[in-house]
Structure 1
Amino acid sequence: MKKTTISLKRLVPGLIIGPASWLGPYIVMNSLFLPAIIQHLDAPNKIQLVALFSTCGMIVAALSNMIAGALSDKTKSRFGKRAPWIIGGSFVFMLAMIVASTSQGIAFLLGAWMVGQAALNFIVAPMVAWIDFAPKEGRGTASSAYGGLGMALGNNGFNVIGAMFLSQYRLGFVIFGVFTFIGTLIATLIVHEPSNLDNEEVATEKKEKPKLSWHDIKTIFPSWSVGRDYYLALIGKLFQGVGNFAITGYILYIMTDFLHRGSQTQSTIQMINIIMLVFGIFMGFVAGPVSDKLKILKYPVGFSTIFLAIGALTLFFFRNDAGIIIYAFAAGIGMGMWNSLDNLLNLEVIPDENRVAFFLGVYNLGNTITQAIAPVIAAVVISWFGFSAIFIVSFVFSLIGGISMLSIKSVKR
């Protein structure tokens, strides 16, 4: 079967606009608008409710991501494997967020949010597989465009704008939901994935349509001996993600309830995200090309977590402006380097090249599922030990994530 290759001239812009269009609105709504509307609807139980939403979201995200990746890998259409699911997912996500904006009760909000979580993963799993369309010599650049530039804009750029809608969070749900659909549509049109109807694999499948066997179901995930490095990368992604989102998922409450920023909350959140955005974009331009040239990948991904760990400790020890700025700088460097290269590292250790979207999709649950796990862990830690303890949790989880990445054997450096 001939592998589909798309030129970097089309792929790179799509890999920047695409992830920014789904991740940015999601980050804003998950970290700012959702906590704000929950606080409005049931302030006394806000910590527990954020954890509830996160737990339900984690389950929905895990299931929908695997399903989306598997369906995408098997799809045959004149628009390619990925585009139909990406566009469909973004449209449903937009509708779900518009519905969420009208919520007058927790149950209704939870239902709309869960539909949005499922739809979101029908964007994520197929879109990250676009990286596999890159020419062999340009995969580092493609990965850097997706993670370093696209996800940097998504993780930090949108929060700068999103903080302006804190007092109008219902309108924010609508605006950012619509933006997801429009941005994703534009990215898909730029990439312009070719038809795969004439793929050799299709002709084979038309003649032979093997039934799904119990053996196939049991081998959805390979054994540890086969998929060791993939599993280590997945473990690293999950621990690093929890370390990061344990702080960012509660950034609004950290500013109001822990650091007592009061009227400076909005400007402080904007400042943090601007600093992280600048470093994220810088790493997006630099990390991928340097990785391609020097043939170095595992070490920068693994050691990037040290910066996250340092950032977490500064907020723990310095509960003032200096601590906030140091956190923003350290987290900006660490996340910029990580986002630029971690998808490429995962692509190098995928155990089955015929199921790229599935395995990349499961791996990229780290971008959604860890935002669900982290608030649950943080809620427990906060209730037992207070807000300050989540910074220690972030420190420990970040380091474990880095160690897991550095333990990969098939990628030498």
Structure 2
Amino acid sequence: MFRKSMQMYRINALFLILLTLGMSSPVTAQVGEFFSGKLISDIPWRWMFAQKWDSESNSWGDTTSIVYTKGTLKMPEEIVNRAKDSNDIWRDLQKVVLTYANNRIKTARIYQYIPDSLKYTSLPILALNYSWEGDLTSKVSGELPLTTLMNLDPATLGMYAPLFAEIKILFEQQNTINGGKITEGIGRIKLSINPLIYALFVTMMSSSGTDIPLPGSDLPLDTNWINQIKTTYTYITGSEIQIQSSWSSSDSQWVPLQKDSLVYTGNKKSLTFHFNYDSTTNRWDLTSKDSTSYNLDNTPNQTVSMKLTGSTWENSNRSLYFYTDYSSSSARFSSNKSVKSNIIAAKIYNFPDHPSLELELKNESRISIIITDLKGRTVYKATHLHNFAGTYSISLPVYACGSYLCAVRSENTMETIPFSIVK
């Protein structure tokens, strides 16, 4: 019952590691950005949620996942990923625990949530260590238990569980930095196991007749590394190209896999085009794109992903970012915000009969209020409201139970406030 292909694990080991990271947090979903430390070390938002596009209703569907941070803004101590279970109840899935040194990430530990015991695993399922050169990561290394990689339940391994616990996949990504930019990153893996334990493991497998793949049949032990994935970075004014390749041991060469073309507006990433490599035609095929919009204070507002079907772009999913503490409906500008920001404070109070927006303006201005549900449908809209400087209480005619987003714009400032109506 343990028959699995070690060749499959050898080829996909680092990809599975990265998939685990991507599931832990959207900020680790892009391989190049994760290993360069560009996103995970500079998270401007407090929480975000993701939605899938519902083609039947032609609108955004229900929220599929929520990610929120704990700790200092831009240097979170924890990143928690949540989703609904089969009973439609929000549950934790995974969390990333971060430590810092000299304002840079030192370690990242990923823990899995166990629903039956209502707690996280005592030991991390993945451990990462960072080395830095200036503001960029020069190396990321870590280890992953083989039982986690092969999705084996220790309870089903019986007497072999302690032996499997000693087997780990070691991995590292070494980045090449030139001119203050990462130009190449190569990821590689190897098995690490005590030779005496391995000899005992082989003996027990042979005597029992149990068909469990022997670690080392496709992966060398201890000191020999195997190349897995390479990412090259090319920088052109206003754009960046990342090409990912996998190592072919049979041909002893790198084989192209994917390409990302990033477009910047100023220093903000606005578009990313994704390509897959077609080895039969030796060309790159465009498959999808991500577009990010920003608030007037240059913080991300939302990222919309679209897939290319034939010659038509179709919505796929989107992520919306918020800057208040998770579960709070208040939105306040911190002291380091631009002095041009006109909204000093905004908060929604849920009164028994209707919600009310409390708004404090720095200067006299016209404001606009747009309230949408989580499917993107507008339920209330008021534009060109003239208000003097000061504090106002504005009644919002929204009565149905549900979750909403209230976007408030005041000339050069926009803030989005999530709120819910429960009766």
Asked if these proteins are the same fold (TM beyond 0.5), I'd say: no
**Structure ranking higher on relative contact order (CA contacts 8 Å, 6+ apart):** 1
Q: Which has the higher helix share?
A: 1
User: Which protein shows a greater Rg?
Assistant: 2
Q: TM-score, normalised by structure 2?
A: 0.24
For normalisation by structure 1, the TM-score amounts to 0.25
